[in-house]
Structure 1
Amino acid sequence: MFGMNNHNDTSQGSVLRFGPYAFHVRQRLVLEGEQPLRMGGRAMDILQVLLEHAGEVVSKEQLIARVWPTSIVEEINLRVHIAALRRALGDGTNGQRYIIHVAQCGYSFVAPVEQGTSDALHMPAAALTPLHNLPARLTPVSGRDALIGSLVRQMPVCRLMTITGAPGVGKTTVALRVAELLLQYFRDGAWWVDLAMLEDDKPLLDHLLHALNTDFFTLSGRHALLVLDNCDHRRDSCATLVETLLHAAPRLSILVTGREALHIPQEAVHYVPLLAIPKRSTLNSVEEAMGYPAVQLFVNRARARQQGFSLRQQDLSGVREICRQLDGLPLAIELAAAQIDALGLIGLQAQVENGLQLLGQGRRTAEPRHQSMAAAIDWSFQYLTEMEQRVLLRLSVFSTGFTLEAALSVISSVDLAGSRLSAIIEGLARKSLLIQEPNRATARYWMLNTVRRYARDRFERSDDRLELQQRHARYFSHTRNASRRTLLAQAVE
């Protein structure tokens, strides 16, 4: 036990045993002995359904309805995941069969299954009452099931994992949910340390030991998960601390959150994506729209704010536009949905384009940086270097994506040119304040709407605003004319 401020969690998730395997339902974890099995989230869902109906034939339609409740999928998808599940279990090797196909009917789990509780993690009795200091979650986590399930399966075999992403994307939410689900795996529990408010001059190790009410010798012997949250402003110190802990504490696993990876050996980096938003062409029904995480989150938070709120067919276009304007950022969507009772859906859609002012009425009990989108971005902005801040503000002149060539032509100056400017732009992408479009021959970047509005509000007060706007207009006028000349030349040929 690290300290006395523990909140005992006595809930015991069920465990389904078969052959050498134990499926811990609450943790969505399959162990062979003490070794986690690698399998995809859909395969895990299929396994759970088949285990729940062991000895029975489950039709293909039933499986598809349970595993893909909000999507329309072909039977081939089911067959692919069944095949992956069989490979993961070694189905058919050494004469052991688990899943059989019953022609024209479906699939059946044919091995004996025993049900118990998660004390089967082969840990001491302390695992029944996990130790932790994780903050209580006030709302459910929306739209992150696949990501969280993947991280939960990887964490036991990965000693260092860093979760990165844009301001407001939910890095802390994901990390804490992963820690919750792994409480019973780690004998000595899961421990959260928020570094956001740590003074710059305080030694990081001292802060960590004080927060956990322990000493270094005790910590080094624990089988525990350590969550180091918000490492951005002390990233170098955090990297040094993590390397020290990994070397000195062989049974300690560390989960880090920040805008940028630590860039040290053993680190597995996972980027938290924006919540998926439906395309206009997919707004055919409320059920289809609710299959998208951004819409789910908006509706869930709106219902919590306004009793009787329900999503109607005529609301789909407006809700989609709100989510699109807010980039699919969970924090921004939550802050907007909190205004539904005051503004109504039509008023909210009209106001959401006005900038970040609307997104400044968050929960008073939340951390200051989570009470508004401006505060969330400002917390990241203040830890940039002066040059990085200057470049980010200047890049807000682009209303859409841009290439490095465009940035060099439009925002460069005597002290911001060539390789120096390129390096700063690449660094802003690593810090999740710019998004780099993947799979392109020419690097192309874009800025989230929320970040651009923040940067543009500050940029409007700068002395070089008019000059950069003129350079931007000249560059794109020249680009359009050059494209026309190329098309004309090709037509003549």
Structure 2
Amino acid sequence: MNSHRDFHGETVLRFGPYAFHLNQRLVLRGDQPLRLGGRALDILQVLVEHAGSVVSKAALIAQVWPRSIVEDINLRVHIAALRRAFSDGQNGDCYIVTVPQRGYSFVAPVQLASQPIPLPIETPCQPRHNLPARLTPVTGRDAVVGNLVRLLPSRRFMTLVGPCGIGKTTVALRAAELLLQHYRDGVWLVDLAMIDDPAQVVDHLARTLGLDTGAPLEALGSWHALLILDNCEHLQDSCRTLIEALLFSAPCLSLLATSREPLLAPGETLLPLPPLVVPPTSALSSVEECMGYSAVQLFVSRARARQQGFALREQDLKAVREICRRLDGLPLAIELAAAQIDALALVGVRAQLDNCFQLLTQGRRTAVPRHQTLKAALDWSYERLSPQEQTALQRVSVFKTAFTLQAAKGVVSCATLQPASLTLALEGLVLKSLLSQETANGISRYRFLNTTRSYALEKLEASGALRTFEMRYAGHIDHARSSDRQMAL
């Protein structure tokens, strides 16, 4: 049976040990329903209706998401879910195969059921969740989202780490959307940015999940669910304790945390989130080539949302690349810069880069306060540093390029920030994703993101000490150059 295009509402299709009730949108194996989401069922119906033929990815997306713009990963995730559902410990490809460069094909024989098949009394419940509605596509994160979707059900506890504005929450929520059908008891976001008291962590979890605050961990013992613990960095110890308890008492829970730094809990799998990719200068001769880089894709997407008819032209490529590079490929910064396109035009956005915190103040009204502007995001991080870490962050911002620990000690150490204390402070700033550390030729150096350095310089200027440490930095540079000249003689 190669085509079922003229099915009526009561049609029941059989393939292998399965029966697909089209009217009830239900797949049974014997009398047991398979847990399949609505999109997966839509995809299955299209493939079964064209059994034996190849259906292209574009055709599947057009039929299943007719009024939405979606990424290929949506389709791949649901195809994988169908294969898992039909695997039974065997090979799910015996039903759905991938035809390289063409699409997918349902290859099992399909027959119309000759007699009605009794339905079970209960049908599967729709997954439960408290995820916010996503208003825009997620750009440039297919690989990391795919890793999360693939690994979370088996790894159980993963932490997305990276600096503020890198998009940790966005990526976590996207993965959660794609995993909705996998968890019987749903997917739940627990936003820990809403509390500051470590003693409130368990109660906040219970309130979010609607559990009895008297014994929430016991209530979760039988749950098969994914919990997203968002913004854990300021409650690291309490989060680590909670995670350890949940992993022990609720063996079917999966946990996805977001944090500026590792939580260091047993069983943690770290997934660092990189910036979006900025095109090299060699790509500037082609609009098509530049649009292959995720930072440019995001900028253009958001610019089009603000300015009807915006189109990237070859003469714009240098300016767009410079904007994305100076903003470190940070999604939040790029989105906020693109939001200014209607007011400043592309040339104006580029011209304002040296004053990036005034440029990036057009907030996203639908975001939580700490994500509405880049400054708010950095304020959130800065306010949770120790006093010594705050002082160190301000002072090392006078370095215009990567610097060694020895150079930092020579420039910024003083009576209030001794060398040993500075070392610990810099290590803390690396852990909290406010500095990065790189090693080349056996020499370790610290490096700022451009946006973070600009923020720290503003703080240093507000403290009244900018001129002092600029002069100390200039003296360090002069001394280094003098030493180089003497070595050359």
> 1:394 Cα deviation (Å)?
0.7
The amino acid across from 2:284 in the alignment is: L
1:26 to 77, 83, 87: 77
- 2:275 aligns to what SS in structure 1? coil
Matched residue, 2:330: 329
Matched residue, 1:136: 133
Is the 2:199–2:238 contact (alpha carbons within 8 Å) kept by the matching residues of 1? no
Matched residue, 2:263: 262
> 1:281 Cα deviation (Å)?
1.8
Which has the higher relative contact order, 1 or 2, with Cα contacts under 8 A spaced 6 or more apart?
1
Matched residue, 1:158: 155
* Cα deviation code 1:162-196 (max 9, x no counterpart): 00111100000000011111111111111001110
Matched residue, 2:415: 414
Instruction: Return the TM-score normalized by structure 2.
Output: 0.77
Matched residue, 1:149: 146
> Would the alpha carbon gap of residues 139 and 222 (structure 1) be closer, same or farther in structure 2, given more than 3 Å must change?
same
The amino acid across from 1:298 in the alignment is: F
Matches of 1:110 and 1:357, distance apart in 2: 53
Matched residue, 2:488: 487
Matches of 1:24 and 1:142, distance apart in 2: 16
Matches of 1:290 and 1:113, distance apart in 2: 40
The amino acid across from 2:184 in the alignment is: R
* Cα deviation code 1:118-140 (max 9, x no counterpart): xxxxxx98766211111110110
* Cα deviation code 1:221-263 (max 9, x no counterpart): 1010000101121111111111111111111110000101101
- 2:223 aligns to what SS in structure 1? coil
Matched residue, 2:320: 319
Matched residue, 1:100: none
Matched residue, 1:460: 461
Matched residue, 2:97: 51
> Would the alpha carbon gap of residues 111 and 335 (structure 1) be closer, same or farther in structure 2, given more than 3 Å must change?
closer
Matched residue, 1:173: 170
> Would the alpha carbon gap of residues 264 and 156 (structure 1) be closer, same or farther in structure 2, given more than 3 Å must change?
same
- Is 1:196–2:193 an aligned residue pair? yes
Is the 1:355–1:450 contact (alpha carbons within 8 Å) kept by the matching residues of 2? yes
Is the 1:225–1:253 contact (alpha carbons within 8 Å) kept by the matching residues of 2? yes
Matches of 1:125 and 1:466, distance apart in 2: 73
- 1:298 aligns to what SS in structure 2? helix
Matched residue, 1:370: 371
> 1:24 Cα deviation (Å)?
7.9
> 1:487 Cα deviation (Å)?
2.9
Is the 2:40–2:78 contact (alpha carbons within 8 Å) kept by the matching residues of 1? no
Is the 2:388–2:421 contact (alpha carbons within 8 Å) kept by the matching residues of 1? no
Is the 2:98–2:105 contact (alpha carbons within 8 Å) kept by the matching residues of 1? no
Is the 1:276–1:328 contact (alpha carbons within 8 Å) kept by the matching residues of 2? yes
> 1:36 Cα deviation (Å)?
13
The amino acid across from 1:183 in the alignment is: L
Matched residue, 1:11: 39
- 1:168 aligns to what SS in structure 2? coil
Matched residue, 1:346: 347
- Is 1:249–2:250 an aligned residue pair? yes
Question: In terms of Rg, which structure is larger?
Answer: 2
Matches of 2:332 and 2:448, distance apart in 1: 17
Counterpart mapping for 1:466-481 below 5 A:
466-481=467-482
Matches of 2:145 and 2:275, distance apart in 1: 14
> Would the alpha carbon gap of residues 397 and 210 (structure 1) be closer, same or farther in structure 2, given more than 3 Å must change?
same
> Would the alpha carbon gap of residues 331 and 113 (structure 1) be closer, same or farther in structure 2, given more than 3 Å must change?
farther
> Would the alpha carbon gap of residues 126 and 135 (structure 1) be closer, same or farther in structure 2, given more than 3 Å must change?
farther
Greater CA deviation, 248-257 or 412-421?
412-421
The amino acid across from 1:398 in the alignment is: F
> Would the alpha carbon gap of residues 260 and 283 (structure 1) be closer, same or farther in structure 2, given more than 3 Å must change?
same
Is the 1:10–1:130 contact (alpha carbons within 8 Å) kept by the matching residues of 2? no
The amino acid across from 1:51 in the alignment is: V
> 1:52 Cα deviation (Å)?
4.3
Counterpart mapping for 1:37-436 below 5 A:
51-53=97-99, 62=101, 112=107, 129-200=126-197, 202-215=199-212, 216=216, 217-436=218-437
Is the 2:232–2:239 contact (alpha carbons within 8 Å) kept by the matching residues of 1? yes
Is the 1:127–1:186 contact (alpha carbons within 8 Å) kept by the matching residues of 2? no
Matches of 1:167 and 1:35, distance apart in 2: 41
> Would the alpha carbon gap of residues 9 and 211 (structure 1) be closer, same or farther in structure 2, given more than 3 Å must change?
farther
Is the 1:363–1:371 contact (alpha carbons within 8 Å) kept by the matching residues of 2? yes
Matched residue, 1:4: none
Matches of 1:296 and 1:465, distance apart in 2: 37
Is the 2:159–2:271 contact (alpha carbons within 8 Å) kept by the matching residues of 1? yes
> Would the alpha carbon gap of residues 434 and 186 (structure 1) be closer, same or farther in structure 2, given more than 3 Å must change?
same
Instruction: Return the TM-score normalized by structure 1.
Output: 0.77
Matches of 1:183 and 1:33, distance apart in 2: 15
Is the 1:126–1:187 contact (alpha carbons within 8 Å) kept by the matching residues of 2? no
> Would the alpha carbon gap of residues 35 and 352 (structure 1) be closer, same or farther in structure 2, given more than 3 Å must change?
farther
The amino acid across from 2:40 in the alignment is: Q
Matches of 2:256 and 2:160, distance apart in 1: 8
Matches of 2:335 and 2:467, distance apart in 1: 35
Matches of 2:444 and 2:342, distance apart in 1: 43
Matches of 1:414 and 1:35, distance apart in 2: 67
The amino acid across from 2:163 in the alignment is: A
The amino acid across from 2:39 in the alignment is: S
Matches of 1:159 and 1:140, distance apart in 2: 26
Count of matched residue positions in the alignment of Structure 1 and Structure 2: 407
Alignment identity in percent?
51
Matches of 2:444 and 2:275, distance apart in 1: 20
- 1:228 aligns to what SS in structure 2? strand
Matches of 2:88 and 2:345, distance apart in 1: 47
Matches of 1:155 and 1:445, distance apart in 2: 32
> Would the alpha carbon gap of residues 278 and 451 (structure 1) be closer, same or farther in structure 2, given more than 3 Å must change?
same
Is the 1:356–1:374 contact (alpha carbons within 8 Å) kept by the matching residues of 2? yes
